[in-house]
Amino acid sequence: MTSERDETSHISKVIFFSLLIDLFGFTVILPLFPSILQFYKVNDKGTLYLSMESAVMSFRTLIGIPETEDVNSVLFGGMIGSLFSFLQFVNSPLFGAASDVYGRKPMILTSLIGSSVAYVFWACSDSFLLFLIARTIAGISEANVSISTAVIADLKSDKARSKGMAAIGVAFSIAFVFGPLIGAGFAKMLSGSSNFFVAPALFSLSLTVIDIVYVAGYMPETLKRSSRATSVTSSYREISYLINPVSLFQFSAVTSTIDSPKRGSSLRQLGSIYFMYLFIFSGLEFTLTFLTHNRFNFTQIDQGKMFAVLGLTMALVQGGYIRRRMAGKEKRLALNGMLLLIPGFIIVGFATNVATVYLGLILFAFAAASVVPCLSSLAATHGLESEKGRVMGIVRSLGALARATGPICASASYWLFGSRFTYVLGGLLLIVPLLCLRTLQVTTVEKEEKKE
């Protein structure tokens, strides 16, 4: 028993540090986007940048967004971010299914190798086309998060799974606090340099190489050969299950949902809740930069500090509260997070001073720290042992689809109807996933076996 507990603890620690290293490299680019876009606006060797800028400006004009440099930068960055999220939507279930066949460790290494290739392209991107190719490769390759959640889902103990999911959330929070700060440091140090993006790209590449060595040397394989699926896809129909949005919402690729209607209904309802919550959350999170800039004249440094406070609060909540209390209480904690987010949205929407904004952001941070880890932990209890990768890949894919579409809809509402309307509407819309979660009856293989 002690040996099994030690192994479980070792796996959780390896996943935590692996994701932390990877996400540090991943988040370095975030504060560099304005400088990168400005660089290609002046130096692009082709017409791709101008064509995409024209598309963004058409969207801006359509919904009445005022033309300022900061707003244009956010919109353009959001467009590239939506492309990245869409690629995550496509690749997560495919990588998850592949990990059910070939094992978790080989697919995490494959994902990291793909990310390292993306950073090489970024370091060489003297044209906007090469930069977009780098982001496309990164979007296609960045699947280690969904596979890492499958690794945690492989753990036998409910308590270990809950703590593991919380640890993944802590890794995200820490990385999203300090990674952008490192990127901002690069931006300040290399401002005015014609190839300022090379150093941060090589920094991210170095971290990814370190992560590859770390995973290869220290991560054990958690999926036994006897428990693996026989093939990723055995027919055209199965392939469509992994890329068709309707099939993903139905979890059609998870065969155990077909064998048990109750189990399938539970998982489908959970997937819909996950999508609805992230659609609303990611949309309003995206518009925070608009609100603080227009209402309080926040600079990029002010907004960086705001997101740093948000990330630090999330890390403290996840590491000090959620990780300790989540086991067996995932549904209740997720409900509490959504309940707190409703007044959080409304407070931010009506805020007339910075202190009130930060008050709303504390509630915002609590929800961000609790809802996704808790819903992920609930999803990890579904599916047979040979299907955990598919389940977690599909859940991650639905989240990516929400992050690709939510910001577009929220920014349109923000500029067409105003910030107060949009934030109040977001709070009211949260009632839908909240009520769905309240009625959720979690039915898993283990629970059905106990009844029998």
Instruction: Read off the pLDDT of each residue in 343-357 and give the average, rounded to a whole number.
Output: 94
Q: Is residue 56 part of a domain?
A: yes
Residue 89 pLDDT greater than 60, yes or no:
yes
Query: pLDDT higher for 67 or 107?
Result: 107
Q: Is residue 140 part of a domain?
A: yes
Q: Is residue 228 part of a domain?
A: no
Q: 376, 353 in Cβ contact below 8 A? A: no
pLDDT digits (tens, 9 = 90+) for 365-399: 888 889 998 998 888 888 777 788 888 899 999 99
The number of residues making up the chain comes to 452
Q: Is residue 252 part of a domain?
A: yes
Query: pLDDT higher for 26 or 228?
Result: 26
Write down the pLDDT at residue 241. Answer: 78
Q: Residue 394: which of 265, 261, 242, 256 has the closest Cα?
A: 242
Q: pTM here?
A: 0.85
Write down the pLDDT at residue 300. Answer: 67
Write down the pLDDT at residue 447. Answer: 53
Residue 443 pLDDT greater than 70, yes or no:
no
The region of weakest confidence among 108-117, 282-291, 436-445 is: 436-445
Instruction: Read off the pLDDT of each residue in 70-96 and give the average, rounded to a whole number.
Output: 82
* Tally of domains within the chain: 1
Q: What is the Rg, in whole angstroms, of the alpha carbon atoms belonging to the chain? A: 21
Write down the pLDDT at residue 452. Answer: 47
Long-range contacts of range 400-403, CB-CB < 8 Å, 24 or more positions apart? 400/85, 400/86, 400/88, 400/89, 400/92, 401/85, 401/86, 401/89, 401/245, 401/248, 401/275, 402/274, 402/275, 402/276, 402/277, 402/278, 402/279, 402/282, 403/81, 403/82, 403/85, 403/88, 403/278, 403/282
Q: Residue 208: which of 402, 39, 356, 19 has the closest Cα?
A: 19
Instruction: Read off the pLDDT of each residue in 352-368 and give the average, rounded to a whole number.
Output: 91
Residue 222 pLDDT greater than 90, yes or no:
no
Any idea what the Cα angle at residue 181 is, between residues 12 and 150, rounded to 5°?
25
Q: Domain range for residue 182?
A: 2-219+234-443
Q: Which amino acid is at 1?
A: M
Any idea what the Cα angle at residue 309 is, between residues 374 and 284, rounded to 5°?
60
Residue written as token pair 């796996």: 11
Write down the pLDDT at residue 45. Answer: 77
The region of weakest confidence among 1-5, 36-40, 60-64, 284-288 is: 1-5
Query: pLDDT higher for 61 or 437?
Result: 437
pLDDT digits (tens, 9 = 90+) for 125-161: 988 999 999 999 999 998 888 899 989 988 888 788 8
Instruction: Read off the pLDDT of each residue in 59-76 and give the average, rounded to a whole number.
Output: 73
Instruction: Read off the pLDDT of each residue in 206-226 and give the average, rounded to a whole number.
Output: 92
Distance CA 18, CA 4 (A): 21
Q: Is residue 424 part of a domain?
A: yes
Task: Name the band, by pLDDT with cuts 50, 70 and 90, for residue 2.
Answer: low
Terminal CA-CA length for the chain: 26
Write down the pLDDT at residue 319. Answer: 76
Write down the pLDDT at residue 260. Answer: 66
Task: Name the band, by pLDDT with cuts 50, 70 and 90, for residue 165.
Answer: confident
Q: 112, 355 in Cβ contact below 8 A? A: no
Distance CA 268, CA 253 (A): 12
The region of weakest confidence among 32-36, 112-116, 268-272, 355-359 is: 32-36
Q: Is residue 449 part of a domain?
A: no
The CATH number that applies at residue 7 is 1.20.1250.20
Q: Is residue 448 part of a domain?
A: no
Residue 356 pLDDT greater than 80, yes or no:
yes
Q: Is residue 226 part of a domain?
A: no
Report how far apart, in Å, the C-alpha atoms of 38 and of each of 34, 106, 348 are: 6, 39, 30
Write down the pLDDT at residue 316. Answer: 86
